Amino acid sequence: MSVNPRPHKESFKRIPIAKPVFSASEEEALLEVLRSGWLVQGPKVNAFEKLFRHFIGAKYALAVTSCTSALHLALAAAGIGPGDEVLVPAFTFIATANVVEYTGARPVFIDIDLETYTIDCTKIRKYLSERPEAQTRPRCIIPVSLFGLCADMEKVNKIASKHGLSVIEDAACGFGARRHGHHAGTEALAGCFSFHPRKAITTGEGGMVVTNDDHLAKTIQALRNHGASKTDFERHLEHGGSLLPEYDKLGYNYRMTDLQGALGVAQMEKAEMILKGRKQAAARYDELLAQVTEIKTPFVPGGYEHGFQSYVCLYQPDGETPKVGRDIDWNKINVWNRTRNRVMTQLEAMGISLRQGTHAVHTLGYYKKKYALQDHDYPMAYLADRLSLALPLYYGITRQEQRTVVEKLKQCLS
Ligand SMILES: Cc1ncc(COP(=O)(O)O)c(C=O)c1O
């Protein structure tokens, strides 16, 4: 397939953090939808859902407006609400916790494993066995397949079934990620994906819920469309659509447009190629950074396939990853944090975009204030927030561009 990403004018000299892969097929797909006149949750959305569920290996795939709405719907359909607790990793994008707030439940942060940046199952067990009596009760865990690496779903599921919790996976970054052959999102009650432009395939904004559960799928299908018992497309096919359906649930408008659906179809045709290109680029960084002792490259446990939504490193100038919170010299971490930030600013000035991996959500104003949280409450999440460093990664990044990134990075570090 010939793909010819047309760079933004500026990007001739810049190396951006991410770049979507579009070709004539996306342009044609969009025109086809405009000419068809069917713009919302129609045949293109259906086609995208079908391709996606086959790729992932799930019984249902339901397209929505974003991963945030996907997660919100999955929680709502699982009956999560006021009085419930939902366990979320402390290092993730804020949306993972926000969706819990939307339902009226309480997010409970759990620290991460700094090797994988995913939820630390020993900390989940500790929390569940030591939690004080409270008015809220644990109902659900949201493991996150962060940056394209699955969480340890086997352990998460074991804990969840022991404590009667449901598991909803935040697989926003999980496209192309597998664990012992299972695609991200398929080892939970529901898995939620994002098609934001920083993800491997994009529809601008967009999301998908995958599940094997008939009842959950039916509920989400209704909730994404104001609670309607039938989609507009189904009504149209049956009776020409004259009569409105029944609405017996309080739903939302989280419908995907057919413009996004058509983009999704065109992107799915390139999916294997895009993922292969990203994995090759990640392997090149591994090589180029092998001798750079201050930079810890992403760890991939045996049996896991990293999707490399991002290539996230840890800045650790003394070459060792702290394992236990109490051993951490926070003054030293603050100095390292300032160096990391300076390096990112310097590289940006040279036209190379780096980013902090993501944030420690318990340190963000809303959560910090509402739940009286301290930065060091979740030390590994806080370390990851302070020291993580995402390098530019996209399909089509050249070996030369990657060499430039690493050379300039080394210069700035020294
Ligand atoms: C881990 C995680 N969860 C949720 C989201 C939200 O996805 P969206 O922007 O599609 O709502 C993101 C977005 O980057 C994410 O990284």
Would you state the CATH architecture of domain 9-268?
3-Layer(aba) Sandwich (3.40)
pLDDT at 13: 63
- Is the CB of residue 402 below 6 angstroms from any atom belonging to ligand 1? no
What is the distance between the alpha carbons of residues 105 and 69, in angstroms, rounded to a whole number? 16
Asked whether 173 lines ligand 1 (CB < 6 A), one says yes
AA identity, residue 334? N
Give pLDDT tens digits for 182-227.
Answer: 999 999 999 999 999 999 999 999 999 999 999 999 999 999 999 9
Pinpoint the residues of the chain covered by CATH 3.90.1150.10.
271-413
CA distance 299 to 321: 12
- Helix H or strand E encompassing 25: helix 24-36
| Minimum-distance ligand 1 atom for the alpha carbon of 206 | 10
Compute the distance from residue 37 Cα to the ligand 1 centre, in Å.
Answer: 30
Ligand 1, pocket-test mutation among 93, 209, 254, 388, most atoms within 8 A of CB: 93
DSSP state of 298: P
Distance from first CA to last CA of the chain, Å, rounded? 42
- 235 CA from centroid of ligand 1 (Å): 32
Beta bridge partners of 312: 390
* Beta carbons within 10 angstroms of residue 81's beta carbon: 12
Return the residue whose CA atom lies nearest to atom 16 of ligand 1. Answer: 93
Distance 4 CA to ligand 1 centre (A): 27
215-240 core/surface letters (b: 16 or more CB in 10 A; e: else): ebbebbbbbbbebbbbbbbebeeeee
Q: How far apart are CA 216 and CA 189, in angstroms?
A: 8
Q: Using CA atoms, how far apart are residues 208 and 256, in angstroms rounded to an integer?
A: 9
How far is ligand 1, taken at its centre, from the CA of residue 280, in Å? 24
Query: What span, in angstroms and rounded, lies between the C-alpha atoms of 121 and 138?
Result: 15
**Distance between CA atoms of 309 and 270, rounded to whole angstroms?**
15
Tens digits of pLDDT across the chain (414 residues): 445 455 455 444 699 999 999 999 999 999 999 999 999 999 999 999 999 999 999 999 999 999 999 999 999 999 999 999 999 999 999 999 999 999 999 999 999 999 999 999 999 999 999 988 888 899 999 999 999 999 999 999 999 999 999 999 999 999 999 999 999 999 999 999 999 999 999 999 999 999 999 999 999 999 999 999 888 778 777 776 788 889 999 999 999 999 999 999 999 999 999 999 999 999 999 999 999 999 999 999 999 999 999 999 999 998 777 776 667 899 999 999 999 999 999 999 999 999 999 999 999 999 999 999 999 999 999 999 999 999 999 999 999 999 999 999 999 998
Measured distance CA(212)–CA(221) in Å, rounded: 13
Residue closest via CA to ligand 1's atom 7 equals 67
Q: Is the CB of 260 under 6 A from ligand 1?
A: no
Helices (H) and strands (E) in the chain, counts: 13, 15
According to the model, what pLDDT value does residue 3 have?
53
DSSP one-letter code for 377: G
Q: Which helix (H) or strand (E) holds 176?
A: none
- Residues paired with 305 in a beta bridge: 178
Residues in the chain: 414
Atom of ligand 1 nearest to the CA of 173: 16
Cα 191 to ligand 1 centroid, rounded to whole Å: 12
User: Is 382 a pocket residue for ligand 1 (Cβ < 6 Å)?
Assistant: no
User: What pLDDT does 361 receive?
Assistant: 98
Nearest CA to 305 among 170, 142, 184? 184
User: CB of 65 closer than 6 A to ligand 1?
Assistant: no
Q: What is the DSSP letter of 85?
A: E
Q: Tell me the three state secondary structure of residue 211.
A: strand
Which regions of the chain carry the CATH code 3.40.640.10?
9-268
Q: Is the CB of 92 under 6 A from ligand 1?
A: yes
Q: Give the C-alpha separation, 378 to 110, whole Å.
A: 7
Decide which of 3.90.1520.10, 3.30.470.10, 3.90.1150.10, 1.10.150.530 is the CATH code for 271-413: 3.90.1150.10
CA of 360 to the centre of ligand 1 (A): 14
The answer to whether 59 touches 211, Cβ cutoff 8 Å, is: yes
pTM score: 0.95
- Side chain identity, residue 192: C
Closest CA to 227 of 207, 208, 256, 253: 253
Predicted confidence at residue 324, as pLDDT, reads 67
